[in-house]
């Protein structure tokens, strides 16, 4: 064969030697040569590409008819690169054999599949000069383990992990779980937030909502209504006992608990929390004694006034600024500040209504005795 090639018109001795070298390499490989591999395979790939370019570009020195015929007799020879559909079938074969999406490292087939997938995801961008057709998008989306973005892929992996955890637990994860269950609780809570209709940033798609609702033990809210109502009733009892709104900084344990609970609910109403209140909860809170939503200056003034009036009613005297009791000292300083405001010696304003409230406290005085 070597002698016949070298003696054929239009085939040079050097080109014929290269052709035989190429033949030996592809027979050894059992496939077409690739751009990565041992030095012989890389050489064969480059030599084949050079001859394909010569066949399509007259400026590079076109192939003779004998050279074309010799190349076409080579095992695994082709003149044009694989079509997109051919590469898709190759990609599908790789991912099915792997049982997962292809990675950047691995055998040459896996490396090729990863690169081809990344190229096609780039072509899906609006900035691509060669955008995918609708048929190509549909074909890719029907391919096992296909994804358009890493975020979408990660969400689907996390859903599978969450499903495995809750199936093993036999229940929905709750706050206080540890290890993988703690991760599952946080992931589920994050998706519940994204699933709310009032959520404008990164909302869940209908497909993801459906996937979550098909997951074992899935619920859209973790609020225990019976527990919430019991806590509200304790808040009502504490506020009624105090005769004012409970404070989170109080030394009284029950008042501190009620004050912190109320502060957390006000944050949820203000939108600074990821778990907004329901309309029914808002209505129930607004019917609670001494409830307020905002901590404006007016609310703060009225709260201090109630502290002072309550102290005078209970102890039948005004608070002392030298008392070791922090609450009494605070009430005394507030009363003195109110007197300074009335005389114009401190910043602030006393409306006629506030003046009337202060003068309604038994024993109230504007001027300190000298």
Residues 59 and 112 in one domain: no
In a domain, 365, yes or no: no
Say which range, 64-68, 78-82, 366-370, has the weakest mean pLDDT: 366-370
- Domain hosting 266: range is 225-286
> Higher confidence at residue 138 or residue 150?
138
Sign (positive or negative) of CA dihedral 258, 264, 270, 275:
negative
Name which of 62-71, 76-85, 98-107 the model is least confident about.
76-85
Is the per-residue pLDDT at 155 higher than 70? yes
Say whether both 272 and 301 belong to one domain.
no
For residues 7 and 353, give the distance between their C-alpha atoms in angstroms, rounded to a whole number: 118
pLDDT in tens, 194-220: 777 655 456 777 888 888 888 888 877
| Helix, strand, coil abundance in the chain, percent, nearest 5 | 60, 0, 40
Which CA distances in Å does 332 have to 208, 276, 297, 320, 327? 59, 38, 19, 5, 9
Give the model's pLDDT for residue 272: 46
- Considering 152-161, 295-304, 306-315, 333-342, the range whose residues carry the highest mean pLDDT is 333-342
pLDDT of residue 209: 85
Give tens-digit pLDDT for 173-184: 876 678 888 888
Please check whether residue 124 lies inside any domain of the structure: yes
pLDDT for the residue 187:
87
Average pLDDT over residues 4-32: 77
Confidence of residue 3 (pLDDT cuts 50, 70, 90): very low
**Using one digit for the tens of pLDDT, what is the confidence trace for 218-247?**
877 665 545 677 788 888 898 888 888 888
Using alpha carbons only, give the angle 132, 133, 137 rounded to the nearest 5 degrees: 75
Q: Let me know if residue 292 belongs to a domain.
A: no
Report yes or no on 40 lying in a domain: yes
What distance in Å separates the CA atoms of residue 85 and residue 90, rounded to the nearest whole number?
9
- 39 is a domain residue: yes
Q: Give per-residue pLDDT as tens, 318-345.
A: 898 888 888 888 889 988 988 888 888 7
Average pLDDT over residues 346-350: 78
With 60 as the cut, is the pLDDT of residue 88 above it? Answer: yes
In this prediction, residues 139-153 reach a mean pLDDT of 76
1 confidence band (pLDDT: 50, 70, 90) = very low
Q: How far is CA 261 from the centre of its chain?
A: 28
Residues 61 and 97 placed together within one structural domain of the fold: no
CA atoms within 13 A on the CB side of 352: 0
Q: Are residues 14 and 65 in the same domain?
A: yes
Q: Nearest to residue 95, comparing CAs of 119, 117, 64, 79?
A: 117
Q: Which of 16, 22, 116 is CA-nearest to residue 77?
A: 22
For residue 218, tell me if it sits in a domain: no
Domain end point (choices 264, 286, 308): 286
Residues 154 and 136 in one domain: no
What integer pLDDT is reported at residue 9 of this predicted model?
45
pLDDT at 312 over 70: yes
pLDDT of 78:
78
More confidently predicted of 297 and 132:
132
In a domain, 318, yes or no: yes
Considering the domain boundaries, does residue 245 fall inside one?
yes
- pLDDT of res. 48: 87
Q: Are 39 and 21 part of one and the same domain?
A: yes
Domain-terminating residue out of 46, 72, 98: 72
What per-residue confidence (pLDDT) applies to 21?
Answer: 92
Tell me what the pLDDT averaged over the chain comes to: 80
Per the structure, the count of domains in the chain is 5
How far is residue 182's CA from residue 346's CA, in Å, rounded to a whole number? 53
Residues 354, 304 share a domain: yes
Q: Could you tell me what percent of the chain has a pLDDT over 70?
A: 85
pLDDT for the residue 270 = 66
């Amino acid at each position: 064969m070597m002698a016949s090639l070298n003696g054929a018109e239009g085939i040079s001795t050097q080109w014929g030697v290269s052709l035989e070298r190429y033949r030996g390499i592809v027979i050894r490989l059992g496939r077409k040569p690739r751009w990565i591999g041992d030095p012989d395979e890389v050489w064969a790939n480059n030599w084949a590409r050079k001859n394909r370019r010569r066949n399509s570009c007259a400026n590079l020195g076109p192939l003779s008819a004998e050279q074309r015929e010799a190349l076409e007799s080579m095992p695994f020879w082709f003149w044009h690169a694989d079509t997109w559909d051919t590469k898709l079938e190759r990609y599908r074969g790789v991912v099915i054999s792997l049982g997962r999406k292809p990675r950047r490292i691995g055998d040459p087939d896996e490396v090729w599949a990863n690169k081809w997938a990344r190229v096609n995801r780039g072509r899906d961008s609006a900035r691509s000069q060669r955008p995918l057709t609708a048929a190509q998008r549909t074909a890719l989306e029907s391919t096992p383990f296909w994804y358009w973005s890493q975020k979408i892929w990660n969400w689907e992996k996390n859903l599978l992990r969450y499903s495995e955890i809750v199936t093993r637990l036999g229940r929905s994860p709750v706050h206080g779980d540890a290890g993988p269950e703690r991760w599952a609780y946080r992931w589920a809570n994050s998706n519940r937030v994204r699933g709310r209709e009032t959520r404008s940033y990164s909302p869940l798609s209908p497909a993801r909502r459906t996937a979550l609702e098909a997951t074992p033990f899935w619920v859209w809210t973790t609020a225990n209504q019976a527990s919430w109502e019991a806590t509200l009733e304790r808040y009502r009892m504490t506020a009624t006992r105090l005769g004012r709104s409970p404070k989170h900084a109080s030394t009284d344990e029950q008042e501190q608990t009620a004050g912190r609970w109320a502060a957390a609910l006000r944050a949820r109403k203000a939108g600074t929390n990821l778990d907004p209140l329901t309309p029914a909860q808002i209505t129930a809170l607004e019917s609670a004694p001494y409830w307020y939503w905002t901590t404006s200056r007016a609310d703060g003034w009225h709260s201090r006034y109630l502290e002072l009036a309550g102290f005078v009613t209970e102890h039948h005297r005004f608070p002392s600024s030298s008392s070791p009791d922090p609450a009494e000292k605070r009430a005394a300083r507030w009363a003195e500040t109110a007197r300074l405001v009335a005389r114009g010696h401190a910043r602030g304003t006393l409306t006629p209504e506030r003046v009337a409230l202060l003068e309604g406290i038994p024993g109230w005085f504007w001027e300190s005795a000298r």
